[in-house]
Structure 1
């Protein structure tokens, strides 16, 4: 990166105005995208999958993050590890992106063979002085947070993931992620910068006019509103939601389900937020009729109406945990104008499709919502490329969490740029 480019990025970071959207280059500049991949996705904990993605010994999954490719594999000792997907011989890419079942990690170029724990087991024709112990796969830091898998490409990953893991353990334990399986995965390419994807997720200002399916189970008022802007019906709905929230939290906490908000989106390197939110009508699940989509409950839960536990992490994930299924999302940058949104629906590992759940009913709310969000991100990206673009103010009522995302992002850049 040129010194002039560094200065321009520093100037953009320095003059960012709190409470306002980011300036256009943060969404359109290839130079800033390279900084993002270095500073944000190269040095922070990135959500990449779940324990059920690699449930058995020999199950492997490859995830690409910018120029880096990472193998996540469960070893014969049942431990999950991560390695750079680069052969230690001449650097060939070893496994393609996606999932596989393997006995060893074998490079297709010259057949260098690595065990599931990363050690080099076989390298033909290397001579008597060759030491295989010096040529194992390069490890990548990996941490399972109650079954959610995070990796960090840095040799010095943020230590505060331990605090997040400890705080989230009692919230996630009732959903027993390790005893679920992935019922369906959807990969959607959004025509927008990754920050637009995340900002769109961090508010529900847009929900009422754009998400008719999602606003059946979820309350748009749960993410803020301007009291003076509500009509009489709106005030009744807001009051109903507030009362439901208080009653639900009291009941869930009494049942041993931690539910109240924990919010550290902007004050630490590994930013996160969680809260259990009511679901409307039956209160059971994020479905079109608000009732459970799967007959087999997660973790032995007996109360179907436990709402939805929301869990957000900086910089790239959000999740919804219900009594019958889990929906998990990750945003992976492709380039400055495109982002992969990967969604996974998980059910109890013993649930049988067509018997215990209908796949369309399980996925239809978020399949529709993802498509709608992709359209919104696309018009946001189009606007950011327009010469008339000017960063506007966030709503103090409905976009406070967008501001926290932007503040976290700017703070992380400011701390890393020389």
Structure 2
């Protein structure tokens, strides 16, 4: 019994019951205004007034549905009044109710259906909200021994009697059941008629996909940057300990400091990108900064012979940024798997393409990781830019990483 009572009275304790009720009452405002414009509407009696209120605004609502902004207004109102709980941006996005203007005739048709449904449900609920409390009051008067006759009631209560007291709560219970049921109906209908269109769902899916790709790109960049920094640091520390020279140790510590500082900058930029409240993250390194990579490899003990040609500073941003990471990954692999060996780096740009090439002597025992995540990421970067990257031994017995990225279609 306690469960049944709590189930019956629970809607009375929920704020959404009353906001949904208000949403239904608002639906009759258009009909009321139309009734004032249409002479004689409110000189009718009984239910005729409510029939006029339900019919008169139909042409106006159909015309309003053609206005794109009406769908946005109705969506916002439905989110605020029909859905329970907090109404922050994230919570509103999860209601399944769209707040974007109509983008197609299908959207306009769904908006028209929604407006007509609001009218068809709201007017009867408004009528009952006015009439049923009056009926309860009439029953109360009859129970007190007074004859009552209120305008709008189907019949007068001509014979007062105390047993009418038993009927006093009945109209109010009926009103509550109707209001709660109609509110639930409108909440469900809002998801169908004001829910995202196919184009909106596709746009949301594309945004989500772009976010995932961006996170994957950040993970790859952190792998490249932090991996390069740790590799250089380990090699510098080992070389400084083996050399036993204060001057070499000072140079090694300076290289470790510079590499670590750059890695911290990359880490901070990546973390800032993951925060939605930071619109302008720090700039990413580009191929114009490639000399910094070469100096880092030299400081780790490698002899680097570099050939840079072409307008590197004028390269398109995506190509220049991804090219920098590709060179960084190639040099990191050299230091990690071959140690401080001589390295040849060629970066050449022309009107058609950017070519990147890194060569180094192969170690006596090649590490299996040489074909692992780093080089896979390098190939993926090239493919995303419409190019191609290869890595492996060449005819001279050296390890060669070569990438070609097209430029013509990006300019």
TM-score (norm 1): 0.21
Task: Decide which structure has greater strand share.
Answer: 1
Structure number with the bigger relative contact order (C-alpha 8 A, sep ≥ 6) is 1
